[in-house]
Chains A and B, each alone.
Chain A
């Protein structure tokens, strides 16, 4: 059937903020969907609360609502926009759940909106555990022995019947939130009660464990005419028992014969037909490694993280095709954009191996429980393409950007055999490296397979890598050996380390022997048809398919995997740089390795190199492409870190000079510059010996901000208030030496203000100044922030503008930069300057309408603001207010302290826009998805230093009708100040029972994990009770209560309208 004629306007629901289990893949899917709809001449209404996405960009959708993703808000938008259809399957679990809610609440029927693509009934049949089970039973498809319970008692009955271990999965949750494997009745009790709470419908699935079986995923697409195709099959390196989001995955399947593969393929098609999914669908199977028994684990009737991976792994654009199906097309009516000739109705065949490795946040959370299980913990992932398992794997490890060389961790050698055995048996993020270490110690494949349950096929590949390490170490580096190592995916750095050489020396030896990589195309068809795709990967083989193109071009370095501190916002800026380059008449070439992103979509840039962002890999692309320059400002710290080395090798860096980047990042140089410019800076010292600490502290005066000069294993920054704390920190938390100095700064407890600005080499344009809600001391990525500023005086703002201009000019900034200030009674101080795009660039670009990245890119190409028609200085502030709020994924990371501090912990962010500050605040905090109560019980538990300041806030909450509960001394203090408070010395049970709706807890000093505060914060996170650890956030919340109680009256607004009215 061709495109439906009755559709004119279609709504797409995004997935909201980045959280563990739902990352950039849905920006990729949503962006592709919006483009596919616009291509068909449809008007696109988009709703997403995540401002860092590309899909919320003016060029992607016609009507963009950056509003909270909840029933109330989206209903209002539907009432205004009146779309004919809504596509539910592209916004992850959030989008799907919301679409179901809209349908079930009657909103869709009321406004005559149709669910496009997979129908409600089909969604229910795959999402509702009971219905899914019945459907599979009807089909005769095997499931693990399971039961659905709503009461903990039934869990024990089930356990008595099938035995342990038992898998617990709450219904309707993301990334297995609240799930786990129980090995004992006690564990079952804990996990099930958490799971019942995490499930929005209070349902939990208990399942007999098939841990140790092969985990196979299949991506299927079906159209209305019942045509079905398999886009990609994937085999998890880590067998069943570890969430697939936390597993290393290879595509296509590696150890399945045709018989087994076809058995699962046939089952997958049978299932998608029975469920009547129209569009994309992901099916997970467990396959017995010793027979042809299999079980269906899960079906996701929507595009998913795996489908983003499958799209990038094969070149097949799943989201685009799913969208075209949703608006009426059949598979054979859609062209395969890769070949331009054949149709989308075929199954991709690949002639390479794809490896995916998750990126975990444990470098930021050293106290977190690193063990992997059914609860996903990774924030992002990398993908690598090679012609062998070994090369794909080694490239992927390099792409992780964790500083690991080869398969050797710094600590690998120091593990005892017992530790190593445990690491193999109980998987954590380091298991891959533990396997390599075991081979280094000559453990046999069988021993390792018995401990890990990993297929010997995969293990043998790691053994090959370790054998090559040995050969390199023991033999002389002949050209033959070097070639074999390169073909196996060894980096120059890895070879250099084994041979005691400099990596550049290895590069030189290689080029003498003409050992150079070639580029192959990803073409969906294994070379059978000529491809149009400019999508490349390297290998060491004979034919180079990348044709040299003499057109002037610029290389943009992407940012790699999504991690805490380097998220989707850098993909936004990278993609905008590509667009700006193309508009300016240049070819844009991009290197990136994150399969979830828009930047790695082959039709984003002129040429895409899916490669690690290491010096070697970047140099290879530069040699191939010979770009006129490289842009490093848009790839986060990953790209910036390459600037100096590239520059030293004679590669032109576009934009801000490398010297200036250094001057901004090097403490001493920066201090000199600030002195020269007479700009006040928070005072600080670098300390290399313990005995210097006391003198420095006395000189600067408390409180102080202390941190290691470079982050080692995620050791956190800390604010210390007295000498005891400082000494304790220095003695216990850091390893101080001349090589590892620590930085001690005067901590000014003022308002933090952030500026994003652009320089054209001469002038500075400041799109906006944002004010943080939380005072300095909370990482800017974890603070709420408001634009325009609400409490900063005109004089201070003038100072901020003046300092920004001075710094920008002195650093000869060409491109974007970001400055953080602290505004206190004693003046405006500079905290830090980042000579690169910051997290807030997408926000300011969107809400001011200033095309920041375009201006920055064009400035790098030599255009001045005047030529571009923009005036320097501070951009006029609008009459609306925007508030950014961070979003955390604490419930998925057990043992992580949730209190805010100088070390960033959030995974994503949302934005609220309104004509009032309170309205924008309300939208931002509800947009985070946390259930902020309008009434009920508040638990207050404070550090003594915060009592006085907290008093008006607690009084406010009490006045607003909340019941105040407090722990011992806090209760005594509040009671003494005339507040009606219930003393709850042991609030743990109340939290577990759901009798507390909100927690205000400020951490005591010391931040030990043994404190009651820590325990309260963890319980709040696990039971999803909002918890404020900064009084500023609590105060902001207080301001929104009135609005929340009258939320029906709050208006929604489209970004385009805000800008029009304001402009």
Chain B
């Protein structure tokens, strides 16, 4: 069955629908990873987005029971050049198509995804709708999605017991692999809803706070910024991705929307402390504005591609965060050393 993606600016990209049948809308973004579609689909940070995979063959190794980054896929739509009808991998449980159908995710294939990517690259990320049967009528919805974090955060406090220091993980849509890596360090983890206030967090008597990844514009979660602002100076604070942006905002810095974001597993980041370059997994549409950083905060990691801020550290307080994903999944595992750094910062201060 034919379908079409219609972008906010009117551009149309025809294809064939696959997965769940229906119309959908969201912010259209592209990801350049050649493997890792299952992780992308289930990463809560993609909530509200229609994801375009630049690699043309998706679904080759099916979907397995182990690689999910949360309980279900969060993308609003999934666009590929070819969804493989045959999959082959010893861990695979089902085909990509089945997985999408089961989770009611709408897919569009046979799309000139390179043309679409080039369009987004030059015009910037924008909203779009996937329509079945290409009945092209301009829908002029306000595509700015609201309350994405509330959709993906945990509804209640969850305890992941560990032998080590106590860590409160503010869940804005945390990836399973982040929790797993923190648990591996031995933290005693309390995963709390995004709306949890500073007092409630302190009541859990933690040694440190960890702000997770999550979807959307950090400014859409002002309550979290307020909570973090209150915690700064009282507890060590670390964060990844959206968590990093929230820390920056809480410190008084500003964030801005990138033209087309960083989404992929090949992004070089320089650790300015060691001058070593790491190939990193990234997924963000916003970035911290370097010029707005207060004097006592310095840039610890920087993107080699566009020079944007990829990590910040506070000169006086135990505060450290990165924009990218040291937990990988998908992507290179070489930045896992950052979990040691988080651990050090939290334990030393505590």
Contact = CB atoms under 8 A, between A and B. Distances in A.
Contacts of B84: 457
B276 A227 contact: yes
A353 B266 contact: no
Nearest to B117: A527
B304 A353 contact: no
Contact of A350 (B34, B39, B118): B34
Contacts of A782: none
Given A332-B270, A542-B112, A347 B279 contact: yes
Given A227-B277, A457-B88, A526-B54, A257 B305 contact: no
Contacts of A564: none
B181 to A, nearest CB: 14
Interface string A683-723: 00000000000000000000000000000000000000000
A346 B268 contact: yes
Q: Which of A257, A346, A541 has the most CB of B within 10 A?
A: A257
A216 to B, nearest CB: 12
Q: Which of B33, B81, B88 has the most CB of A within 10 A?
A: B88
Given A290-B90, A291-B90, A349-B32, A388 B305 contact: no
A63 interface: no
A85 B82 CA distance: 50
B55 A455 contact: no
A430 interface: no
A525 interface: yes
Interface stretch (B189-197, B200-208, B326-334): B326-334
A995 to B, nearest CB: 53
Interface string B159-176: 000000000000000000
B89 interface: yes
Contacts of A294: none
B107 interface: no
A456 B266 contact: no
Contacts of A545: 118
Given A332-B268, A527-B121, A346 B330 contact: no
Contact of A351 (B55, B279, B334): B55
Nearest to B63: A257
Contact of A543 (B61, B64, B112, B328): B112
Contact of B266 (A349, A352, A388): A349
B305 A225 contact: no
A289 interface: yes
Contacts of B94: none
A788 interface: no
B118 A527 contact: yes
Interface in A210-229: 225-227, 229
Contacts of A530: 121
Contacts of B57: 254, 353, 388-389
A350 B85 CA distance: 21
A455 B88 CA distance: 7
A387 interface: yes
A258 B62 CA distance: 12
Interface in A741-789: none
Interface in A449-481: 455-457, 460
A313 to B, nearest CB: 12
B124 interface: no
Given A350-B34, A528-B264, A258 B304 contact: no
Nearest to A544: B115
Contacts of B33: 258, 349
A255 B89 contact: yes
B91 A257 contact: yes
B215 to A, nearest CB: 21
A259 interface: yes
B60 A255 contact: yes
B36 interface: yes
A260 B89 CA distance: 10
B25 interface: no
Contacts of B321: none
B264 A457 contact: no
B270 to A, nearest CB: 7
A351 B89 contact: no
Contacts of A348: 266
B299 interface: no
Interface in A972-1019: none
B32 A258 contact: no
Contacts of B117: 351, 526-528
A708 B334 CA distance: 62
Contact of B277 (A331, A389, A526, A543): A331
B334 A266 contact: yes
A426 to B, nearest CB: 23
B273 interface: no
B313 interface: no
A696 B97 CA distance: 70
B150 interface: no
Contact of B56 (A262, A353, A525): A353
A649 B284 CA distance: 53
Nearest to A527: B117
A347 B32 CA distance: 11
A230 B34 CA distance: 13
A462 to B, nearest CB: 11
Q: Which of A351, A456, A526 has the most CB of B within 10 A?
A: A526
Interface string B26-68: 0000101111101100000000000000111100110010110
A256 B91 CA distance: 10
Contact of B88 (A255, A265, A347, A353): A255
Contact of A332 (B115, B277, B329): B277
A302 B241 CA distance: 38
Contact of A258 (B39, B54, B121, B279): B39
A547 B101 CA distance: 40
Nearest to B12: A542
Contacts of A256: 35, 61, 89
A494 interface: no
Given A343-B268, A349-B55, A543-B118, A257 B32 contact: no
Contacts of A253: 34-35
Contacts of A525: 32, 266
Given A225-B276, A258-B67, A265 B332 contact: yes
B252 to A, nearest CB: 31
A87 interface: no
B54 A346 contact: no
A252 B55 CA distance: 10
A222 B91 CA distance: 32
A586 interface: no
B253 to A, nearest CB: 26
Given A226-B276, A255-B88, A520-B114, A261 B35 contact: yes
A230 B33 CA distance: 13
Nearest to A233: B34
A349 B115 CA distance: 16
A530 B275 CA distance: 27
Interface in A265-291: 265-266, 269, 289-291
B54 to A, nearest CB: 4
A13 interface: no
Interface string B257-291: 00010001111101000011101000000000000
A346 B118 contact: no
A342 interface: yes
Given A350-B55, A526-B114, A528-B260, 4 more contacts: A227-B277, A353-B56, A387-B81, A457-B84
13 contacts: A227-B277, A252-B55, A256-B61, A257-B89, A262-B331, A290-B90, A345-B304, A350-B34, A351-B32, A351-B56, A388-B81, A526-B117, A528-B117
Interface of B: 13-14, 30, 32-36, 38-39, 54-57, 60-61, 64, 66-67, 81-82, 84-91, 112-115, 117-118, 121, 260, 264-268, 270, 275-277, 279, 304-305, 328-334
9 tightest A-B contacts by CB?
A543-B115, A258-B36, A457-B88, A460-B86, A526-B54, A347-B266, A258-B330, A527-B117, A541-B112
